[in-house]
Amino acid sequence: MATAFIRGWAYTLSYELHDPWKIVHSPPATPLIFSFWHNRILLMPYLYRKYFPKRKLIALVSRSNDGKFLSRVLGQFNLIPAEGSSSKKGASAFKAAIQAAKKEGYDIAVTPDGPRGPCYFFQEGVIHLSRLSGLPIVPVSYQLESKIELKSWDKFQIPIPFSRCRIFVGPLFSVPKSLSENEMSFLKKELSAALSR
């Protein structure tokens, strides 16, 4: 029911894709780590299927009730959840995602300010995931012409039907195996800026 609602809701929107690095139009053959703010989760399964119909994806989700609900939604879009969190069994979720990427070619999806926030605070997990896996990070964001913003910790966004959605993809960020504190800080700022378009 929830998936049908999301599909129907998303179908009413008009989309404007900004893909200057041609990641959507000419995606690399290797897996990617897609990163987006937690409050943009609603449309992301639909958008992934719309723009990458032949690719496979595993998403890191929390073990909370919200995470379990998201896992069911992902399954309906033929996407795979890897359940974990920043505090409990997060390492096992990282390992499962990396194995799926390395052995079966799955892309990985991560929300850098989830699962608990603060909103728009870029945590280091996605950078460590890239460093350990050797896969590049692709920031993805969208701006809604008309939306409802919930009073949740992440300011969760719900688009108004028949409004415009502007999608921003890229650039690719490759992360070296070792990072200094200054390099980590710089990379977090660059990724955060890319997600805030």
Which of the two residues, 114 and 55, has the higher pLDDT score?
Answer: 55
CA distance 194 to 197: 6
Q: Which residues pair with 144 in a beta bridge?
A: 165
Tens-digit pLDDT profile for residues 10-52: 999 999 999 999 999 999 999 999 999 999 999 999 999 999 9
9 pLDDT band (50/70/90 cuts)?
confident
Query: Do 108 and 135 meet the contact criterion of CB atoms below 8 Å apart?
Result: yes
pLDDT over threshold 60, residue 133: yes
Give the CATH fold of the 29-195 domain: Glycerol-3-phosphate (1)-acyltransferase (3.40.1130)
pLDDT over threshold 50, residue 140: yes
What are the extents of the domains in the chain?
29-195
Percent with pLDDT over 90 in the chain: 73
Q: Give the count of beta carbons closer than 10 Å to the beta carbon of residue 19.
A: 15
Q: What is this structure's pTM?
A: 0.92
Tens-digit pLDDT profile for residues 58-92: 999 876 656 666 677 777 788 888 876 544 445 77
Look up residue 127 and give its two tokens: 């950078």
Looking at residue 86, its pLDDT comes to 46
CA distance 124 to 22: 26
Looking at residue 64, its pLDDT comes to 66
